[in-house]
Chains A and B, each alone.
Chain A
Amino acid sequence: MKFRAKIVDLACLNHFTRVSNMIAKLAKTCTLRISPEKLNFILSDKLASGGVSMWCELEQENIFSEFQMEGVSAENNEIYLELTSENLSRALKTAQNARALKIKLTNKHFPCLTVSVELLSSSSSSRIVTHDIPIKVIPRRLWKDLQEPSVPDSDVSIYLPALKTMKSVVEKMKNISNHLVIEANLNGDLNLKIETELVCVTTHFKDLGNPVLPSESVSQNRHPEDMVEVHIDIRKLLQFLAGQQVTPTKAVCNIVSNRMVHFDLLLDDISLQYFIPAWS
């Protein structure tokens, strides 16, 4: 099993750093899947994550100038590693003005992902910072739990409003109740509602637009004004929103009535999918 990759372009490095910062906010521990074409950050819907799952995908050739990997075997040419997300983002943080960054899989006392950064020091001699991130190799028998989640047939699909706005609204709502209702319709309306004995607060977002869905079967029978809702834990939504530091290129919210909400974001060339199950 081998992995080594190199980034030399500063823009690519910053992009990768931003992704890693986002992942660190979304999941304390996550799985990194390395395959010949892609890198994935995965959180599967286990009990530990409260049923939340995440799938983030990036094309390796958009980031790395050099990329070599050899998976577990020829038929299973992939590597699955578990790591603490914050370690990666901290390691990348030191690479702010790097000349080059190398990542490789190593085994120094324990299996690591070694991030090696070559910095330009002020006296123009190079300085090298190395981070050994401890990892756990995930055995092949567990890979089936870490596959790309199938996108469910949603009842409503709607474009999200500005995530910063959503975040500030949800942050305030969290102080009132943990139970949030997201509802949306095919007319571009999205509402966030919380309700307690004393007070009921709703924030209305209008004119958001709905993406055209490929399979029209379910939604065609629906009246555009009809709201579809799901009850979720507000903290999970807040965690998702807190991780979004950059304005996405595209942000879609898919609601499966009373089952789950699925966020589908595109940040330049990196895709992020985040699933929050209904409150149980």
Chain B
Amino acid sequence: MKCLITGGNVKVLGKAVHSLSRIGDELYLEPLKGGLSLRTVNSSRSAYACFLFAPLFFQQYQAASPGQDLLRCKILMKSFLSVFRSLAMVEKSVEKCCISLSGSNSHLVVQLHCKYGVKKTHNLSFQDCESLQAVFNPALCPHLLRAPARVLAEAVLSFPPALTEVTLGIGHGQRVILRSYQEEEADNANKAMVTETSIGEEDFQQLQAPEGIAVTFCLKEFRGLLSFAESANLSLSVHFDVPGRPVIFTIEDSLLDGHFVLATLLEQDPCSQDLCSPKPCQPVPQKEAHSTPPLDDFTNDDIDCYMIAMETTVGSEGSRAQPSTSLPHVSQPSHDLAPSSEEEEEAEPSTVPGTPPPKKFRSLFFGSILAPVHSPQGPSPVLAEDSDGEG
């Protein structure tokens, strides 16, 4: 494989690698007839990202030497990223970038031709690997949002940089809502601030989703694609389904396309999902998220009932009484019982050090997408599912 990238496209490639580095520690490089594909997956298999650079992106592109098979390799993300570590430097001084992989050479060679005749050659060791292929199909997702990346980037600005998860959904009046996600905490004293941004549907190029739908995914991983899409001034499409099914983010233009597939939380606390109603949660969660009072209704918001409960305990130690509305945790059991699950990664808390904290993210791509969707709210759980063909 040999390809040559010139001019501004070197920086684009560098930026793509930066966004991939937010997801995984290993980069799968696969030259295809249709272009060069860069893919990665995170350690818990709950996030997958792929960029495909069309042959037109390159000044020269040769997927394989004539008569040779297509090679593919897996390199440490850190190594590849180090070539493009400083995007400012890349933009300023790199004129050409040449990437080559040959069966005879045991290294992936990345050569940067810079100004003033400086040539930097990086020999990166690689491993042969299987093709990293996630099974997903945006067309199967019933819900879709599309907006210039800038719209979503601005919305995400109001969240603290450290925020891990965010919930995306449709609220009252077809407004798109992004809300910081917080796990239910037993101890109310340590609650974090909840931030929510609501964007009008006019800002979206496409919006096909019912009110009340909401999915929660990892913001950190999403930010990678968002910053790339924003800098490339592209539109971002968000394909999603019910909570638990992965959300697929796509960008495309004539020279490249990118897919980021992120798992979504299966377990949904009904109130965090309830993006329509500003009412405080009733002790028994009502499932009528669609009949909602107007958003800015103060009469529901006052704290009198809470205050009364508190005043009666003034004599006792409690300076605050727990509000009586404690939400039953609606735990939706995971019905992932695909008997033919091969290398199925478990969504359960992993004991491997360094994996993200235990969350109920289902890793759906590598096989279980083949199974039909179970509606978690179904009256009778599906205990044995049909085994489908390809997804």
Instruction: Tell me the A residues contacting B by CB distance below 8 Å.
Output: 1-2, 4, 72, 84, 87, 90-91, 94, 104-112, 114, 121-123, 125-134, 136-142
Contacts and interface: CB of A to CB of B under 8 A. Distances in A.
B236 to A, nearest CB: 15
Given A110-B188, A111-B306, A91 B193 contact: yes
Contacts, number: 120
B200 A127 contact: yes
Interface residues of B, number: 42
B325 interface: yes
Nearest to B155: A127
Contact of B303 (A2, A134, A138): A2
Contacts of A130: 195-198
Nearest to B190: A134
Chain A at the B interface: SS class = strand
B329 to A, nearest CB: 13
Given A128-B198, A130-B198, A134-B193, A139 B150 contact: no
The B interface, classified by DSSP as helix, strand, loop or mixed, is mixed
6 contacts: A94-B157, A109-B271, A111-B306, A131-B194, A137-B310, A138-B319
A266 B198 CA distance: 38
Nearest to A88: B193
Contacts of B194: 112, 131-132
Contact of A121 (B203, B304, B319): B203
Contacts of B305: 107
A123 B327 CA distance: 39
Interface string B282-323: 000000000000000010011111110011001000011001
Nearest to A128: B198
A91 B310 CA distance: 27
Nearest to B191: A134
A106 B307 contact: no
B197 A107 contact: no
B195 A129 contact: yes
A136 B306 contact: no
B84 to A, nearest CB: 30
B189 interface: yes
Given A107-B280, A137-B307, A129 B158 contact: yes
B331 to A, nearest CB: 18
A129 B271 contact: no
B191 A125 contact: no
B281 interface: yes
B192 interface: yes
Interface string B323-342: 10101000000000000000
Nearest to B325: A109
Contacts of A127: 154-155, 197-200, 203
B289 to A, nearest CB: 15
Nearest to A134: B191
Contact of A108 (B188, B197, B203, B280): B280
Contacts of A87: 193
A111 B271 CA distance: 15
A112 B191 CA distance: 10
Contacts of B154: 121-122, 127
A1 B278 CA distance: 19
Contacts of B128: none
